[in-house]
Amino acid sequence: MLPDLYWVYKKLFNAFGPQGWWPTTAPDENKPVHRGKPPGLERERFEIIIGAILTQNTSWRNVEKALENLIKKKMIDVNTIAACEDTRLAELIRPAGYYNQKARRLKDFASFLLTEYDGKTINLFSHDLETLREKLLCLKGIGPETADSIILYAAQKPIFVIDAYTIRILRRLGFEVKGYEDAQKLFMSNLPNDVKVFKEYHALLVHLGKNYCKKQKPLCNSCPLTGICRFSKGS
């Protein structure tokens, strides 16, 4: 018997508490922290987008180092990113890995935002969810997870973000999922269409995947889902 995914959410929330995603940096601070409230400032929304691109296949710890470099140089700004020399930007985000690719992608996004939306995320986000997703997916370097992270955490529109942790957890729970869209439908058809739930749930899955449902040495004994998970029972 497969568990109800809304029940799993409540279980994780009770075990771990609110995660407060996505981390952002206040004007007078120097590194991103979890605040548990929607990004109210243009600068925060832009920072979320930068972080979403930088964290592709990369640990958040490394992304933080890159973000701190940008924050120190006052570069969390669409005009500054767009105008920055490729090699200089690459050097600043170096700790996040794939720095040449990612520098190009950051600049591509900044140019797109400037050209099409007067450089303001709020203009981009005025599209309906489906249109916004299509526009984002047209950009080089923005795939489904990055697009959905931007839509959910920066634009605050209801879409469920899938990542490698989520797929692994689903499969270990016993669900058969092919890929991204598949897993996304599974969550969205079994949850209330609620931005707060989607935000919190994804963050909780990352926490679970990072600390318990690890790839190599999963800690099934202390996992909050022990008992209802097939993986812990072998197979």
Partner DNA sequence: TACCAGGTCCTCG
Partner DNA sequence: CGAGGACATGGT
Residues that bind DNA (CB under 7 A): 21-23, 51-52, 55-62, 65, 94-95, 97-102, 139-147, 149, 153, 163-165, 178-179, 206, 209-210, 214-216
Q: What letter represents residue 143's amino acid?
A: G
Residue from 55, 59, 107, 117 nearest 83 by CA? 107
Q: Please, which residue, 4 or 196, has the CB nearer to DNA?
A: 196
Residues 154, 147: Cα–Cα separation, whole Å: 10
Nearest distance from residue 11's CB to DNA, in Å? 21
Nearer residue to DNA within complex by CB, 118 or 179: 179
Instruction: Please name every residue paired with 24 in a beta bridge, in sequence order, or none if there are none.
Output: 33
Tokens (6 digits) for 100:
């040449």
| In the complex, minimum distance from the CB of residue 22 to DNA, in angstroms, rounded to a whole number | 5
In terms of CB distance, is 9 or 22 closer to DNA? 22
Nearest-angstrom CA–CA distance, 176 and 179: 9
What is the SS3 assignment for 210?
A: helix
CB of 125 to DNA, least distance (A): 17
In sign, the C-alpha dihedral spanning 80, 81, 83, 85 is positive
Q: Which is nearer to DNA, 44 or 163 (CB)?
A: 163
Taking the complex as a whole, how short is the minimal distance between the CB of residue 135 and DNA, in angstroms? 13
